[in-house]
Amino acid sequence: MTPSLVVLAAGMGSRYGGLKQIDPVGPGGETVLDYAVFDARRAGFGRVVFVIRRDFEEVFRERVGSRYAGRIAVDYVFQSLDALPAGFAVPDSRERPWGTGHAVWCARAALPGNFAVINADDFYGADAFAQLGRFLSSASGPRFAMVGFRLANTLSEHGGVSRGVARVNASGEMLSVDEVHGIVAAEVGPGRRYSGEEPVSLNCWGFTPALFDGLNRRFPDFLRERSGDPKAEFYLPAAVSAMVAAGEASVEVRPTPGSWFGVTYREDKPRVQEAILALVRAGHYPEKLWG
């Protein structure tokens, strides 16, 4: 069974403005997501599972999913506030989604085999998918992988960013991931809060179905402890980190020399367009991705 690519696309990108998953950035009108699917397909992935919200299903199917018809199998999973374990209900004060861990949990029935997880609005580069493809071709049990990017290469000039900062042992195994919000460039560099060399999680993971054993235990715990907080989210890196701390799983951190580009803010778009055009001119991608 070839691995599946799970794409977290339920967010509308409030800071960026609009549905940034369908905003063109490539010279042929390609989206960031087009490059992810292209890279995943040539790395051996056989299927894409989009996690989206029902309220933009129609436009997403029409403007995103239809682009991959005949190229790779496509499925859809819906993340909704009321998708909860038995015995739980949505608090009246809750409006925002339950987080990335919940998004993946919502896809559990669609994932009988190994799979990768990415964000819809991040450009990870071909090396990230090649590494995950190799890992997932033989992974089994509660052994996972995380592609680690240098923190200094993941910042925005236009505001703070949220990053999962990983602690890694000498063997390359992840010890924990701490979700840090509002990291700005002024905090990164020699003698500052961060050196810039820290490996960070950008939700570029490789999992076996054993992940769901951990999510099935921890999501109810999260709801019991924090569902009353309207801003609390069940983050995927935090759930994986808790599994590692409890000895339930191990995570191999795979550093990548590849480029990462993000469109956290609308002002980031020109820089992303220039970076992708440079990769096209260097021969890493065709000028028109889908011919």
pLDDT in tens, the chain (291 residues): 899 999 998 874 444 445 555 678 999 999 899 999 999 999 999 999 999 988 888 888 888 889 898 999 999 999 999 999 999 999 999 988 899 999 999 999 999 999 999 998 889 999 999 999 999 999 999 999 999 999 988 887 778 888 889 999 999 999 998 888 899 988 998 889 999 989 998 899 999 999 999 999 999 999 999 999 999 999 998 899 999 999 999 999 999 887 788 776 678 788 889 999 999 999 999 999 986
277 lies in some domain: yes
The rounded distance, in Å, linking the Cα atoms of 41 and 249 is 27
Residues 155, 159, 164, 165, Cα dihedral to 10°: 60
Tell me the sheet residues that pair with 47.
4, 73
CA angle 57-53-160, nearest 5°? 125
Residues 168, 174, 175, 181, Cα dihedral to 10°: 80
In angstroms, the first-to-last Cα distance of the chain is 28
288 lies in some domain: no
pLDDT at 20: 56
pLDDT at 162: 84
**In which domain, by residue range, is 205 found?**
4-281
Q: What is the CATH number of the domain that holds 190?
A: 3.90.550.10
Q: What is this structure's pTM?
A: 0.91
Pairing outcome for strands 115-119 and 122-123: unpaired
**H helices of the chain, where?**
32-42, 57-63, 100-106, 126-136, 211-226, 236-245, 269-281
Cβ–Cβ under 8 Å, residues 153 and 271: no
CA atoms within 13 A on the CB side of 109: 6
113 lies in some domain: yes
Residue length, the chain? 291
Number of other residues whose CB lies within 10 A of the CB of residue 169: 9
Pairing outcome for strands 115-119 and 199-207: antiparallel
pLDDT at 16: 46
287 lies in some domain: no
Number of domains in the chain: 1
Cβ–Cβ under 8 Å, residues 289 and 26: yes
Cβ–Cβ under 8 Å, residues 37 and 63: no
96 lies in some domain: yes
Cβ–Cβ under 8 Å, residues 121 and 32: yes
286 lies in some domain: no
261 lies in some domain: yes
From residue 63, how far is each of 19, 24, 71, 91, 256 by CA, in Å? 11, 11, 15, 33, 31
290 lies in some domain: no
Tell me the sheet residues that pair with 84.
none
